[in-house]
Structure 1
Amino acid sequence: MKKVGITGQNGFVGKHLYNTLGLTPEEFERIDFDKSYFDSEQKLDAFVSQCDVIVHLAAMNRHESQEFIYETNVKLAKNLVASLKRTNSKAHVLFSSSSQEERDNLYGKSKKEGREILANQTRENGGLFSGMIIPNVFGPFGLPNYNSFVATFCYKLTHGEQPVIDNDGEVKLIYVSELVNEIITKIREEKSEDLYEVPHTSVNKVSEVLAKLENYKKLYFEGGEIPQLESKFDYNLFNTFRCYFDVKNHYPVKFTQHTDPRGAFVEVIRLGIGGQCSFSTTVPGITRGNHFHTRKIERFAVIKGKALIQLRKIDTDEVLDFYLDGKDPAYVDMPIWYTHNIKNIGDEELYTIFWINEPYNAEDADTYFVEV
């Protein structure tokens, strides 16, 4: 088992890496990090001395002062180097750098200097070093106006604002889960590589990305329809978009119910893609679920009985409660990285329709059991 610490653990990439490592506890033990450790030699040394692997993600990439960005990022690297030296650490250090290294700006300069400083110290201590040049990263829970233009667009489209394109150029992108897999691969390889360019997985014009997101807003956010997803990038972009909803206030979504003397008809889901649709009955007092997915798109539709659907985002304590009644049919979609369950809180059997975008595969279930 490798003991892995992540500086910048609570940042965009750091949190995804931390949570993904937690899916295989038999292989990785996570050593917790807090940004305050950089202000205390004692705390930083205690952290470094525990780690077999240190992924250095902590950095500043936006500030009104470029000089402040440069000074901050170089200082973080030097502080980590000093701790490696004091503790005589032989940890495998992975450094997150940027494609801006070769550009004429202080951010790029700070990343290049930080990479070189850490590479030299790691070699001196007899450890391994991996310098990773990373393209533009997008994915769930990135901060709008900070991490990515994709995050900014998603947030604005789901919060009543209209995105504006400043520069409609082509952008090389990688989805955050793809980047995390690259980092984990480097950890497993256990070899030094001063400079490794992480390959981008798509190239898109900014306007093309916005057009896709606007389509998702129209079809899914406003109409509940799962759009056609023609590529892996589309799939990742759609799952990213879904994570910017105000979940607490968006669900449950009421169905349109058509009634006549025969009874009622409700369209449960309209699809641009396939998937698997299931039906279940649940006796009073029973709870199903208590698991989460990292990629699957899933809908719970209550058509008879009374149900409590609960969601909780991984790494948070807030539980969202949604009460549904088959007399007024409604649905809740499950965001990725939210553990969820459904409980029959009525006196009769609960009838629920479950739809998920891919058939169940026991060898790749993407289902992780965690109590809500």
Structure 2
Amino acid sequence: MLKVGITGQSGFIGYHLTQYLRLHGDEVEVVPFDAAYFENPNQLEEFVRQCDTIVHLAAMNRGPDDEIYVTNVRLVHELIEVLEKTESSPHIIFSSSIQEERDNAYGRSKREGVRLLAAWAEQNNARCTCLVIPNVFGPFGRPFYNSVVATFCHQLTRGQEPEIKVDASLPLIYVQDLVREIFRAINGAYDLPVVSLEATAERKVSEILARLCEFKEWYLDRHIIPDLNGPFDTALFNTFRSFIEPDHFPVYPEVHADDRGYLAEVLKDLSGGQVFFSVTKPGITRGNHLHIRKIERFCVIQGEAVIRLRRIGTDQIIEYHVQGSRPSFVDIPIDYTHNITNVGATDVLTLFWTNELFDPTDPDTFYEAV
């Protein structure tokens, strides 16, 4: 079992990488890390001794220029000092940036980190892989810090007006694509000391904002799944959805009733997908799994149930009490394990929709109890 340590484990990329590696627990074991280890040499030494591979993500992205540079270079120096003190030579994977080419504090700190780690690797006959990474976006990013995508999503889902300061063209990599590449690096896919990762897409800031505004209009305001034109659109949409407050759900569609019964439009989708249903006996729980790609909607149309969700890597459980007598739907975010329990005395009939047809060779279903 390969033991992998991640500095910056609690950060944006660190969170996604940690959860991705947990889903591959038959191949790797994640060595716990805390930011306080950089302030405690003994804890940092113990961490380093346990690792076969260290993914060095810890860094400062925003702040005063001199502080950014000094902080990021200091973290690399401290890691190297502990590697030498413990005579450890794990495979180091360093997250650099396309900003290496720019004369700003962050770019200079990344260039210096690459230089220092390459020198350490050469002197100690060790392996170091430096990944040059485009601008990263994805679910749960920190607004005003991680990316302009996170900032726009945060603002739009809270009724604020985003502002474009510089309409630059941004090479973007989706965080799920990035962690897959890091996983490949962990498994030895790259022989070169420096690897430039391909962007998922390149878009102008104005194009990103325009698309996110469309998502807000169609999905948040009108509850219609927008037309998604390929993997980048889906990644951007899943990012947008991750910023929607939990109390937005459940949503109660308009019910049209007459003496024949009632009709409610549960799903309007501009890009297709799959609708299905299940019958759940009283006291039975279905689910306890998560998806990292699929968009999914639940609608109980008969009986009484509780839908529970928990974002993996956290302890907080969200509960929605739903019943067929007042139809409502709940959308399941990616990276949230979820289940549905029949808490009534009769069968529960649930209608489901997902944005893609089921593929048994690639089901995008990972089992984990809520």
Q: TM-score range by the shorter chain?
A: over 0.9
- TM-fit CA distance, 1:70: 0.8
Aligned equivalents of 1:168, 1:71: Cα separation in 2: 29
Offset of residue 152 of structure 1: 0.4
Task: Output the CA distance in 2 between the equivalents of 1:30 and 1:126.
Answer: 24
Pairs within 5 Å for 1:61-210: 61-63=61-63, 65-189=64-188, 192-210=191-209
CA distance in 2 between partners of 1:316 and 1:18 (Å): 12
Distance 1:191 1:258 in 2: 59
- State the 1:133 CA deviation: 1.0
Counterparts of 1:26 and 1:302 in 2: how far apart (Å)?
36
1-structure distance, mates of 2:279, 2:102: 60
Map of 1:370 onto structure 2? 368
Alpha-carbon separation, structure 1, partners of 2:189 and 2:232: 30
Residues 126/270 of structure 1: CA separation in 2 closer, same or farther (3 Å cut): same
User: Identity of counterpart residues, as a percentage?
Assistant: 49
In structure 2, what is the equivalent of residue 51 of structure 1?
Answer: 51
Q: Give matches, 1:22-41, under 5 Å.
A: 22-41=22-41
Deviation at 1:192, TM superposition (A): 4.7
Describe the superposition over 1:159-193 as per-residue Cα deviations: whole angstroms up to 9, x where unpaired.
Answer: 11111111112111010011111111112126553
Q: Are the equivalent residues in 2 in contact too, given 1:171–1:203 (CA < 8 A)?
A: yes
* Aligned residue number for residue 312 of structure 2: 314
Residues 1:227 and 2:237 are matched in the alignment: no
Alpha-carbon separation, structure 2, partners of 1:143 and 1:201: 20
> What SS class does the counterpart of residue 151 from structure 1 fall into?
helix
- Structure 1 partner of 2:260: 262
Tell me how large the CA RMSD over aligned residues is: 1.1
Matched residues in 1 for 2:215 and 2:153: separation?
Answer: 10
**Aligned with 1:97: secondary structure?**
strand
Matched residue pairs, number? 370
Question: Shift in Å at residue 253 of structure 1?
Answer: 0.6
CA distance in 2, matches of 1:221, 1:173: 24
Q: 1:190 to 1:233 in 2, by over 3 A?
A: closer
Task: Measure the CA separation in 2 of the matches of 1:190 and 1:54.
Answer: 16
Residue 350 of structure 2, aligned match among 349, 352, 355: 352
Displacement of 1:337 after TM fit? 0.4
Whole-angstrom distance in 2 between the partners of 1:27 and 1:358: 28
Match of 1:329 among 327, 330, 346: 327
TM-score normalised by length of structure 1: 0.97
* Unpaired stretches in structure 1, ≥5 consecutive residues: none
* C-alpha separation in 1, matches of 2:99 and 2:229: 31
Call closer, same or farther: CA 1:192–1:116 in 2, change over 3 Å: farther
Q: Deviations over 1:300-359 (max 9, x none)?
A: 001111111111111111111111111111000000001111111111111110111112
CA distance in 2, matches of 1:146, 1:250: 25
What TM-score does the superposition give when structure 2 sets the normalisation length? 0.98
Per-residue Cα deviation, 1:247-278 (whole angstroms, up to 9, x for no partner): 1x111111210001111011110011222211
> Are 1:58 and 1:76, in contact at CA under 8 Å, matched by a contact in 2?
yes
Partner letter of residue 206 of structure 2? S
Q: What is the alpha-carbon distance in structure 2 between the residues aligned to residue 358 and residue 231 of structure 1? A: 12
For 1:60, the equivalent position in structure 2 comes to 60
Does the CA contact (< 8 Å) of 1:69 and 1:106 recur in 2? yes
